[in-house]
Chains A and B, each alone.
Chain A
Amino acid sequence: MQKAIRVKALDVHYGRSRALKSVSMDIPERSVVALIGPSGCGKSTFLRCLNRMNDTVPGAKVEGDVEVDGHSVYRNGTDVVELRRQVGMVFQKPNPFPKSIRDNVLFGPRLHRRMDRAECDRVLESSLRRAAIWDEVKDRLDAPAMGLSGGQQQRLCIARALAVEPRILLMDEPCSALDPIATAKIEELIQDLKKELTVVMVTHNMQQAARASDYTGFFYLGELVEFGTTKQVFENPREKRTEDYVTGRFG
């Protein structure tokens, strides 16, 4: 299978503390990867390395390499803006801009290129449809995004990320602020999205990792302890530490 992302011996320091310890992972194209582990284990740090979001963290030092579609993202001359177009991100708390639904979705595409009215409408509709929220907002595209419910806001943020046509979508606990129904919608959406793109998500919800992902990585104290198919990790983990964590025997 084609690899969407190859991570090789990735090391991250924040000042003097070592947040990631030589992590390597190959992520197949069009798959959903869940990253699990206790708070502070490095999974969000790992996620942020994939589109160089750690560049903006003061004192962060990244060693090792990340390849997206065969191109090293940490080599000199990488266009970080283009990288982040290809590798989009959705955060834990829905964070729509205080603008209309339309402006939220079109914000990214308009930065990248000039678009006429017809193209705007096309991108708007297809992004909202892919994020499974079109039917709920199509009659109020110019209403403020802040007026939507939490679950709708999160799907709007996904639509906003999709509008720039990324190949990879990173999600940092995308459902932790949502109720079970909104969560189910996002999980369903993730299954649709993987037909076209690769999804890497951090989650604290073990059932969600089990339900929604194809591969699971377990991080502990900055180390990738185990990475395998979700079925294997949850049915028969190879590592004792993984077993202890997923069965709640930790600590």
Chain B
Amino acid sequence: MPEVRLMARQFHQDLDKLKDRVLEMGAKARLNVVEGVRSVVERDTELAERVILRGEELNRMDVEIERDALDLLALNQPVAQDLRTVGASLKIITYLDRIGRYGYDLAKMTKQLGAREPSGKKPVTLSLMADHAMMMLDAALSAYKDRDGAKARGVGPQDEVVDALYEQMFRTTVTTMLEDPRTITRGAHLILAARHLERCADNASKIAEKALYMATGERRLPV
């Protein structure tokens, strides 16, 4: 049955392409967050502008990858690992779109804060949170890329660290706002920024869950 094998090979090539596109989208979403946070921490409005321009791109990729994934389903009726790969990819792009969106929102925040507020101390905890959330995202995407169940399992537990940093950021910012009401606008923004990063880490955990499902067929139920 040479045609059958040929068709299957074509399908598997298309599936690999789909995965590559998802990873490409992941890299863009990651860049959004990294630069979005840096723009907030450094008050870099030019950088923020670049992130905002990229916002549309992720949106477009989300739509395109979804379309390609649905085409693969409609034309090939994949099963087993192939089916799980398409299913996981469809979910993962939603999480990536959200992560990219948080980066976009951080950049918007930089523009709103502008130069009118006293800049105060650099909010380095935000950078720490972003580093940790992005480490989780890297691990989740690498588990997806290599179908590595063990790596995927390792991502979820790290969420605690980001949660703890968020708590810390929240408390210190509230204290500062109480001491000096002029910092309230800035403080409110920083808390929101921290909240965005905490959500990025949650979405990275979700991606890891889908990578685990793709690799092993195992589903994590919410506890």
The stretch of A13-21, A104-112, A146-154, A230-238 that contacts the partner chain = A230-238
Interface size on B, residues (CB 8 A): 16
In the complex, whether A249 has a CB less than 8 A from a CB of chain B is: yes
**Those of A228-251 within 8 Å (CB) of chain B:** 234-237, 242-243, 246-251
Using CB atoms, name the residue of chain B closest to A237.
Answer: B80
Per-residue A-contact encoding for B21-49, CB less than 8 Å = 1, 0 else: 00000000000000000000000000000
In the complex, whether B78 has a CB less than 8 A from a CB of chain A is: yes
Using CB atoms, name the residue of chain A closest to B77.
Answer: A207
Using CB atoms, name the residue of chain B closest to A39.
Answer: B1
Q: Is the CB of A247 within 8 A of B5?
A: no
Given contacts A235-B217, A236-B217, contact A248 B8 (CB under 8 A): yes
Per-residue B-contact encoding for A130-165, CB less than 8 Å = 1, 0 else: 000000000000000000000000000000000000
Chain A neighbourhood of B7, CB < 8 A: 248
Using CB atoms, name the residue of chain A closest to B11.
Answer: A248
In the complex, whether B12 has a CB less than 8 A from a CB of chain A is: yes
CB distance from A107 to the nearest CB of B (A): 38
Chain B neighbourhood of A242, CB < 8 A: 80
In the complex, whether B79 has a CB less than 8 A from a CB of chain A is: yes
Q: Is the CB of A246 within 8 A of B77?
A: no
Chain A neighbourhood of B75, CB < 8 A: none
Per-residue A-contact encoding for B54-85, CB less than 8 Å = 1, 0 else: 00000000000000000000000111111110
- A-B contacts, 11 of them at CB < 8 A, read A234-B79, A235-B84, A236-B80, A237-B80, A243-B81, A247-B80, A248-B7, A248-B8, A248-B11, A249-B8, A250-B5
